[in-house]
């Protein structure tokens, strides 16, 4: 039975990965300091023979007894609202946390997978974004804390690969949505759906002409699993290449949820990327992967999830 450690395992993506790896027959050790992760995301796994939860900050000393086959580093605040609220923690988990997780993988002879991000491309001047593009990041802007932490994490991962011969993988994850996002994490999909469900105005930042490409979490987890099992050491984009404007998304959500909501325009945050769309040519060729869930199908599942969450909280 492979033994796998996931940092940030109680987060949105981390918890879905815990589920998938247990399904694949792994023993999973889930590490989380719960600053943005939530016990609710893994509550169904507590008591399962193949699952162990440790409340720990990965930037602290990391000791795990016994062997490990895989270390997946997913810990980090990940929504712009969260990482701007937690700037120092974000920088620390991307730098010190990545160093600790890499050190653990090296000590155990485990394969390491880094959850990197499309934010390494910043406000991109090349569209769509291919892995060869080096990006356009403002290091001292409000998003710099996340973007630079992840860029450092990629550099550190490649250094461990080159200098220590560590077996590493890097996933550049584009906008992903689905069940277990926090309703208040500030991301566009969770904001719009929750606003529509409450009958409040949908807050479109700027004129809504900026674009994003949204991947359903089930597709993303499939891509991550294939990457983990592949031989690809270079960074691989994982996301859905279907691109929408933010205003398109607002109209889709309004139509699907119904109700009295309107659209309210707010000012555009500083350094908000104008466009974003993954080129997934590399993932198609090396992983035989591409997303399957259409946006309307994925949104319907996510709307249902948030509807239930809202009912529980009433
Ligand atoms: N956005 C918006 N209204 C919201 C939240 C976000 O118009 O209530 C916009 C945001 O300005 C950005 C896009 O939606 O252009 C995606 O934002 P998100 O925070 O989901 O993630 P990002 O892709 O910026 O990291």
Which pLDDT tens digits describe the chain residue by residue (314 residues)? 999 999 999 999 999 999 999 999 999 999 999 999 999 999 999 999 999 999 999 999 889 999 999 999 999 999 999 999 999 999 999 999 999 999 999 999 999 999 999 999 999 999 999 999 999 999 999 999 999 999 999 999 999 999 999 999 999 999 999 999 999 999 999 999 999 999 999 999 999 999 999 999 999 999 999 999 999 999 999 999 999 999 999 999 999 999 899 999 999 999 999 999 999 999 999 999 999 999 999 999 999 999 999 999 88
Place of tokens 């969450």: 309
Instruction: Tell me whether residue 146 is one of the annotated catalytic residues.
Output: yes
Q: Does domain 177-212+242-277+292-313 have CATH number 3.90.25.10?
A: yes
The pTM for the full model equals 0.98
Question: Residue 276 CA: which ligand 1 atom is closest?
Answer: 23
- Architecture field, domain 3-174+216-238: 3-Layer(aba) Sandwich (3.40)
Distance 72 CA to ligand 1 centre (A): 26
**Cα–ligand 1 centroid distance for 229 (angstroms):** 32
Q: Which of 78, 188, 215 for a ligand 1 pocket mutation test, highest count of atoms within 8 Å of Cβ?
A: 188
**How many Å apart are CA 74 and CA 30, to the nearest integer?**
10
Ligand 1 pocket test: which of 147, 187, 253 has the largest number of ligand atoms within 8 Å of its C-beta? 187
Token digits of residue 182: 């926090």
**Domain definitions of the chain by residue range:** 3-174+216-238, 177-212+242-277+292-313
Tell how far the Cα of 187 is from the centroid of ligand 1, in angstroms.
Answer: 6
Catalytic residue chosen out of the listed positions 146, 160, 177, 225: 146
Who contacts 269 (Cβ-Cβ below 8 Å, separation ≥6)? 80, 142, 205
Order of strands across the sheet that contains 27-32? 51-55, 27-32, 3-7, 70-73, 111-117, 168-173, 236-238
What is the model's pLDDT at position 292?
98
pLDDT given for residue 70 in this prediction: 98
For the CA of 189, the nearest atom of ligand 1:
20
Q: How far is the CA of 201 from the centre of ligand 1 (A)?
A: 15
Q: Using CA atoms, how far apart are residues 223 and 217, in angstroms rounded to an integer?
A: 10
How far apart CA 77 and CA 90 sit, in angstroms, is 6
Q: Which atom of ligand 1 is nearest to the CA of 119?
A: 25
DSSP code string of the chain = --EEEEETTTSHHHHHHHHHHHHTT-EEEEEE--SS--GGGTGGGTT-TTEEEEE--TTS-----S--SEEEE--S--SHHHHHHSHHHHHHIIIIIHHHHHHHHHHHT-EEEEEEEGGGGBS-SSSSBPTT---B--TTSTTHHHHHHHHHHHHHHHHHHHHH---EEEEEE--EE-TT--TTS--HHHHHHHHHHTTPPEEEETTS--EEE-EEHHHHHHHHHHHHHS---S-EEES---EEEHHHHHHHHHHHH-SS--EEEEPPPTT--S---B--HHHHHHH-------HHHHHHHHHHHHHHHHHHH-
User: Ligand 1 centroid vs 188 CA: distance in angstroms?
Assistant: 5
- Identify the pLDDT of residue 309: 94
Ligand 1 shell residues, CB under 6 Å: 79-80, 175, 186-188, 191, 203-205, 210, 212, 246, 269, 272
* Residue identifier of the C-alpha nearest atom 21 of ligand 1: 187
Residue 62: the pLDDT is 87
Q: Specify the pLDDT at position 61.
A: 87
């Amino acid at each position: 039975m492979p033994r796998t450690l996931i940092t940030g395992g109680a987060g949105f993506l981390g918890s879905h990965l815990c589920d998938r790896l247990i399904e694949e027959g792994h023993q999973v050790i889930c590490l989380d300091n719960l600053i943005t992760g939530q016990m609710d995301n893994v509550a169904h796994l507590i008591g399962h023979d193949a699952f162990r939860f440790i409340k720990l900050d990965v930037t602290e000393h990391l000791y795990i007894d016994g062997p490990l086959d895989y270390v997946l580093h997913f810990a980090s605040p990940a929504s712009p609202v969260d990482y701007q609220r937690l700037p120092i923690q974000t920088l620390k988990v991307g730098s010190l946390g990545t160093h600790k997780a890499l050190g653990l993988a090296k000590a155990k002879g485990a394969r390491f997978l880094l959850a990197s991000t499309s934010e390494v491309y910043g406000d991109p001047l090349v569209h769509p974004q291919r892995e060869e593009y080096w990006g356009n990041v403002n290091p001292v802007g409000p998003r710099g804390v996340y973007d630079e932490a992840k860029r450092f994490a990629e550099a550190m991962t490649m250094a461990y690969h080159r200098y220590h011969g560590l077996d590493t993988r890097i996933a550049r994850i584009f906008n992903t949505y689905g069940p277990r996002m926090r309703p208040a994490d500030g991301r566009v999909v969770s904001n719009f759906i929750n606003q529509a469900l409450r009958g409040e105005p949908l807050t479109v930042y700027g004129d809504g002409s900026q674009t994003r490409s949204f991947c359903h979490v089930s597709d993303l987890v499939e891509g991550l699993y294939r990457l983990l099992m592949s031989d690809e050491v270079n960074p691989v984009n994982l996301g859905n290449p279907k691109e929408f404007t933010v205003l398109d998304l607002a109209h889709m959500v309004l139509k699907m949820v119904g109700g009295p909501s309107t659209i309210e325009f707010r000012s555009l945050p500083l350094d908000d990327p104008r466009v974003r769309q993954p080129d997934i040519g590399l993932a198609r060729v090396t992983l035989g992967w591409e997303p399957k869930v259409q946006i309307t199908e994925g949104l319907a599942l996510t709307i249902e999830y948030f509807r239930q969450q809202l009912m529980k909280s009433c």
